[in-house]
Amino acid sequence: MNDYLKYILMLVILTITAYAAHYLVLSGLEVQHFWGQTDYSMLGLYTFATISSILAVVFILLTQYAMPKNLGFVFLGIMTIKVIAGFIYIQDGLGTFDNKFIEYNFLGVFFLYLFFDVFIAFKVLNMEEKS
């Protein structure tokens, strides 16, 4: 299977599973009503994270093809851009609630997808060393 499709399928499975688990946790804690008091939604957080990770995977795989020796530096650049984009996306919601509802939800989703991106970069770097 093509690496692009394999990694994007992994990302879709991660997104569906994480979204369902996140929804169940927030429902169990009975804090779902906080989303209605913001301009953000849980679906919006996951959409932002999924799109940014798809772009990261595509750029990582393109870099592996075009200039494999620079993959580590390109990965660091991609992650820097992803952090800046994440801050720009969430900055209006910071400090909205005293209980840090937006901040904790965003950080949980952000770090989950950051770990996924690191996993993909690790897999691609190890694939490069084997060949």
Q: What is the pLDDT of residues 35-93, one digit of tens each?
A: 988 889 999 999 999 999 999 999 999 999 899 889 989 999 999 999 999 999 999 88
**Entry pTM:** 0.89
Q: Collapsing DSSP states into helix, strand and coil, what is residue 44?
A: helix
| Domain range enclosing 78 | 3-130
User: What does the mean pLDDT of the chain come to?
Assistant: 91
Helix (H) / strand (E) element for 55: namely: helix 42-66
Distant-in-sequence, close-in-space partners of 64: CB < 8 Å, separation ≥ 6:
71, 124, 127, 128
Residue 128 has pLDDT above 60, yes or no: no
pLDDT of residue 96: 80
Work out the average pLDDT over 99-126: 93
User: What local confidence, expressed as pLDDT, does residue 1 receive?
Assistant: 55
Number of separate domains in the chain: 1
